[in-house]
Structure 1
Amino acid sequence: MQTQASPQNITFNVNSTVDATDANPGNGVCETSPGNGVCTLRAAVQEANSLAGTDTISLSNGTYILDIAGSSENASATGDLDILDPLILIGENADTTTVDANGIDRVFDVQADLEIIGITIKGGNGDWPGGGGIMNMANTFLTESMIMSNTISGINQSGGAIYNGSRLTIVDSQIISNTKTESGGISAGIYNSGYLTVTNSIFQKNSSNDPFGSGEAIFNNYTGKVILSNVDFHNNIWEIDTKCGGSAIESKGILEISNNTFTGNGTAVSIGEYWEYNPLYTPFPSQTIISNTLIAHNYGDCSTAFEGMIHMDGNLAEVTIVNTTIYSNTGFNSAGFLSNRGTAHLLNVTVTDNKFSWQYDRANGIHVEPSTQYITSSLFITNSIVTNNGFQNCIGEITSGGHNIDSGTTCNFNSLGDKINTNPLLGPLANNGGQTLTLNPLFGSPAIDAGDNTICPTIDQRGVTRPLDGDNNMVAICDIGAVEHEYSPPELLYLPAILK
């Protein structure tokens, strides 16, 4: 039982996993009946909502199941836990401390600032507008926590894990196995129309059985901004066909990706929106920056999948890709980078070993649709490698800024420093340092010291300084591709002299 010494900034220590309401919300004492000393999570939330200031609720190890049914109530008396006043919610750790809505409602409806530390949030089933685990309309900070096995099941609901309409920060956390089961809504993971920042976290196995689903991990709406740093995306797909997928991320707003890894998803990133046959439709400007990232072993191997592991579709869509490897992806129509509409800039990018399974008139590496009366599509590429992408590396109007390598002749590389019919001699995908796996140029690679220093980034995909003297001629020149080769002399074999 808590004291009544101060009505502000109280810490409530929950001592029961039972779901029961507070006896007298606002008196500063968390207990389900006068004098019994039983403090439940729901009772603690009701007390915190009724008191001014930022209160703290501490949860010990255990599973806190919400089983008082009744959605659309906004005082935490039934259904979800409504956060109406600033609150800090602390668990022992996410492996041992769980809040489970048991399918009766979403878990948290956040209307005031909330910080969650060391807790698993699961079993939520959100109503409109969405958010199976959390609906955030304030400023929420989530750290060392897990959002898992939540769902949205109504038509036109979005965000199986989280619906973010304001500001959400996620650090050292996991968004896992959340679902969307009806059509019309968007994203089994996070739907964002506000400001979303994610760092050092994982999105895994978020899925939808809606064949028109998109952004299974994150959907970023026109008004949204998303910043992702050191985030892994694995197996975020359409459940309806596990060889196919909408996209791990779909963004119509501002998106910044750095040091991320995408594996086992459908399309990795889909950008922009435009209705080709409606000249009166005004596309929204979509801006995306992808840097120091690995996109590998993803698959969109069905006719309804997005085309390309990075898919652009919007006249006002702009994407810049730097120090990024697009490797060994499989698609139905195009497997590497597809620009239907919009403007793309690729700098020190490696696109290799991508395959598609059907259309012969599409490129495995980079495919740029031709511009028309209503479509504007352009791609500029510098200091990059496009190699070994099946039938053909490139199709479409591609402008070379120079210093590129094409293992064939289809990319129209004819500027200063370009190399065609050239094997870049790349090593296997491996841990060569840094946050992501990379393809390191082998000793003697034509990519070494062959780039353009005037436009070269200051680091490579691993974070290693550019330029380096990769061929030991005492001149530091940027390498072509995502990785800067660090010179080491070939090993010499010394044999002892044979004395006769």
Structure 2
Amino acid sequence: MNARPDSRRVSIPRQAPLIAALALALGGLSDAGAAQAPLAANFAQASSVQASLQASRDALRRQFLLRNGPLPVAPDRTAGTVTVDNCDDSGPGSLRAAFEQAVSGDVVDLTGLACSTISLTSGALTSGVDYLTLNGPGADRLAIDANGSSRAIALMGGYGELKIDGLTIRNGSYTYDGPGTYGGLADGACVLAEQYVTINNSTLENCSASGKSVHGAAVKANGRLTLVNSLVSGTEATAAADDISATITGGVISGGASYLTDTTVRDATVSATTTSAYGGVLGGGVFGMYGVVMTGSTVTGVDVQVSAAKDAYAKGGGVGSPMTVILDRSTVADNSVRGTPGFGPGEQGVYLSAIGGGGVYVMIVPRSSPVPSTIVNSTISGNSALCEGEIGAYTRGGGGGLGTWAPVPVAIVNSTVSGNSTNLNGGGLYTRARGALALSNATVTANRADNGAAIADLADEAAFAFATDSSIVAGNAPLAAASAVDLVTAHEVSGANNLIASANVTLPADTLSGDPLLGPLADNGGPTRTHALMSGSPAIDAGANPADIPTDQRGEGYLRVWGEAADIGAFESQPLPDAIFADGFD
């Protein structure tokens, strides 16, 4: 049995609110900026999508490490093992006893338990060590249940990592009701850690946090947060204040940088309400201060509502970051942001509400050295961004699917933006300030808004034109008006081989228009849903493959070029994979 550590750092430090937290990033990252290899402004110039994507991932990692510091070396010894023998709340052989006995670097072994639930009746499992690993028998075999009366797990050592594998953690609850200061945060009701967190093959469900500010109601890590092959569902995050602002960053999960692989975040309720000041949410489902990377993952069913006496900031219903978002073979669907309108001049200036990015919102701070955001082989669908109240001169925003003011183009490649809506600007995509977009082999359809039914590129300060190659922007509709054009832009449109039904500017001479004859958004193969091209579609064999992509959005087994030329859009019309190789070639 391992010796008990001499001291435990279990106090939870005071942290900055949304505005102050974002301000931490404003100093600039000149070293990271010099080292990174960003995606091309026009994706047609990229020789390899995957190489460019990896370059952005590497640059994001450097950016995080530059500001957050590297993970310290784990203890230089063989990890000790503390075995849990029973499912009691406390006492010899219990999980609580293991937390008390474990020293930094130990593994708490729960794999031999035959019982199905450890019910926490005397508070959270808390440790002050730096490194700790919990190994369970499988998420379907063992649950740690906090019964809605306390946090579940908190690792408060300042320099290490919490690892969890093969467990369900449920019904964690934390409420902060102390003094009205920004330091009083409610976060990490199921899992809280001062530094890195890695969660594999696990389920977190019915986690709830409430207070004047919330960071990650289900999981909060100040360092890197990694979830692999896991599920987070049924989260509630509630920020409410009468005397100060109410803010939330990461209603469900919040990390210094957040990485999701083969993971689903679903069904969450996120609300920020203040009766006298500012209310804000950035990233209702997933938030990463230094970036979010999703690979083969899904964020769905997150509902965000912000009600504020002055200005409401409601952005990124599914995913939000002040720096970088990378989606690869992922889906952000059926999320929403709702906010109240701003009301105009006041004692502290003009109160402007900003509401946007029902699915995804990308800010990019610092402005001097951003790591480019990329959406590749992914679908953003069924999201909404709505102003609840009379829209006037003091309400900004839009982007039912995605909103951005990133000063380097957000690249949307081999991807689908479908069925999103807003009563502001840009049913599918929206830019403002210096924001920019670059589409390549993308399909933007069935979105709804009155100003830019598909896309509203209103970034009149941007250094880049609106760029699109071999993409479909058609089949979109107004939300309430009699009519709306598909593309509204403050710039010239660059690129070639597109099908754009309507726009407010002159389009390149080779642009097609009319009905692309798309099938419904459906499972047509691959990990994400797509719109198939129906027989007779003018998009068939009329496109190009400027980035030399080997497959269409569906990935392996679905060629990017089949026939005389590539098709326009994210989907390539072709026989099923088995039929392609029916002659024996592989």
Q: TM-score range by the shorter chain?
A: 0.7 to 0.9
Paired residues, number: 435
- Show the counterpart of 1:232: 298
Between the aligned partners of 2:407 and 2:361, the Cα distance in structure 1 is: 14
Say whether 1:184 aligns with 2:247. yes
* CA displacement 1:299-349 (0-9 Å, x = unmatched): 224348951134434353531110111112221123111111312111111
Say whether 1:455 aligns with 2:518. no
Say whether 1:214 aligns with 2:282. yes
Unaligned runs of 5+ in 2: 4-76, 177-183, 240-245, 274-279, 308-313, 337-357, 389-394, 478-483, 577-586
- Show the counterpart of 2:418: 327
- Show the counterpart of 1:76: none
How far is 1:282 from its partner?
A: 6.2
- Out of 81, 99, 102, the position equivalent to 1:48 is 102
Between the aligned partners of 1:483 and 1:203, the Cα distance in structure 2 is: 26
RMSD, aligned CA:
2.9
Cα gap change, 1:105 to 1:401, in 2 (>3 Å): same
- Show the counterpart of 1:436: 528
Between the aligned partners of 2:469 and 2:164, the Cα distance in structure 1 is: 44
User: Do 1:44 and 1:57's aligned partners in 2 also have CA atoms closer than 8 Å?
Assistant: no
Between the aligned partners of 1:310 and 1:246, the Cα distance in structure 2 is: 9
Cα gap change, 1:398 to 1:325, in 2 (>3 Å): farther
Say whether 1:347 aligns with 2:409. no
* CA displacement 1:428-460 (0-9 Å, x = unmatched): 222211001111112222211212244342221
SS in 1 for 2:407: strand
Cα gap change, 1:61 to 1:412, in 2 (>3 Å): farther
User: Do 1:236 and 1:245's aligned partners in 2 also have CA atoms closer than 8 Å?
Assistant: no
Determine which structure has the larger helix proportion and give its number. Answer: 2
Letter in 2 for 1:16: C
With structure 1 as the length reference, what TM-score do the two structures score? 0.79
User: Do 1:400 and 1:412's aligned partners in 2 also have CA atoms closer than 8 Å?
Assistant: no
Note the 1:24-423 alignment, pairs <5 A: 32=91, 38-49=92-103, 53-58=106-111, 59-69=113-123, 79-82=124-127, 84-110=129-155, 111=157, 112-126=160-174, 128-129=184-185, 130-182=187-239, 183-194=246-257, 196-210=258-272, 212-221=280-289, 224-238=290-304, 247-266=317-336, 267-272=358-363, 285=370, 287-303=372-388, 307-314=398-405, 316=407, 318-333=409-424, 334-341=426-433, 342-356=435-449, 360=450, 362-372=451-461, 378-390=465-477, 391-396=484-489, 397-410=491-504, 412-415=506-509, 417-420=510-513, 422-423=514-515
- Out of 83, 87, 109, the position equivalent to 1:12 is 83
SS in 2 for 1:106: coil
Say whether 1:480 aligns with 2:548. no
How far is 1:203 from its partner?
A: 0.7
Between the aligned partners of 1:310 and 1:297, the Cα distance in structure 2 is: 8
How far is 1:412 from its partner?
A: 3.5
Unaligned runs of 5+ in 1: 21-31, 33-37, 70-78, 275-280, 489-500
- Show the counterpart of 2:39: none
Cα gap change, 1:187 to 1:326, in 2 (>3 Å): same
Letter in 1 for 2:256: S
SS in 2 for 1:256: strand
Between the aligned partners of 1:319 and 1:413, the Cα distance in structure 2 is: 21
Cα gap change, 1:162 to 1:377, in 2 (>3 Å): farther
Between the aligned partners of 1:458 and 1:265, the Cα distance in structure 2 is: 31
Find the structure with the greater CA-based Rg.
1
Between the aligned partners of 1:460 and 1:15, the Cα distance in structure 2 is: 51
Between the aligned partners of 2:288 and 2:225, the Cα distance in structure 1 is: 13
Letter in 2 for 1:369: L
With structure 2 as the length reference, what TM-score do the two structures score? 0.68
Cα gap change, 1:134 to 1:317, in 2 (>3 Å): farther
User: Do 1:261 and 1:295's aligned partners in 2 also have CA atoms closer than 8 Å?
Assistant: yes
How far is 1:158 from its partner?
A: 0.8
